[in-house]
């Protein structure tokens, strides 16, 4: 299977705070690349907020909307569908 390529020419990159100043251990993040949408199950009082990002074939990025600068969990799309089905069954 050929790798999926995304056009990141307009992305704004931010270096991780864990990168050192000598050029080693560098990790950069393209902020704003994902278009996030809030779960329909999130409440309006600011709690229980889960967001997912669309437009990433084969992947489902998930984050806590109260921490938009925090980490995102990236789930394989094949695993996401049965997870959602089991959550909705509860």
Domain span at residue 20 reads 12-88
Q: Kindly tell me if the per-residue pLDDT of 23 is higher than 70.
A: no
Q: Does 22 reside within a domain?
A: yes
Instruction: Please count the other Cβ atoms lying within 10 Å of the Cβ belonging to residue 51.
Output: 19
**Highest mean predicted confidence (pLDDT) among 26-30, 31-35, 61-65:** 61-65
Quick check: is 5 in a domain? no
- pLDDT, tens digit, 9 for 90 and up, residues 37-90: 887 766 666 666 888 888 777 888 888 888 877 788 888 889 988 988 998 888
Which are the contacts of 19, defined by CB distance < 8 A and separation ≥ 6?
Answer: 25, 26, 27
82 falls within a domain? yes
Let me know if 52 is exposed, middle or buried by CB neighbors in 10 A (0-12, 13-18, 19+): buried
Mean pLDDT to the nearest integer, 1-8 = 58
When divided into structural domains, the chain yields a total of 1
pTM beyond 0.85: the answer is no
For residues 24 and 86, the model is more confident at: 86
Within a domain: residue 18?
yes
How far is the CA of 35 from the CAs of 20, 44, 54, 68, in angstroms?
30, 20, 6, 12
């Amino acid at each position: 299977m050929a790798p999926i390529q995304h056009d990141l020419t307009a992305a704004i990159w931010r270096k991780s705070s864990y990168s050192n100043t000598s050029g080693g251990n560098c990790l950069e993040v393209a902020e704003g690349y994902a278009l996030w949408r809030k779960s329909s199950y999130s409440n309006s009082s600011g709690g229980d907020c889960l967001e997912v990002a669309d437009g990433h074939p084969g992947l489902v990025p998930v984050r806590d909307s109260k921490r938009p600068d925090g980490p995102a969990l990236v789930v394989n799309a094949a695993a996401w569908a049965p997870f959602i089905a089991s959550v909705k069954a509860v």
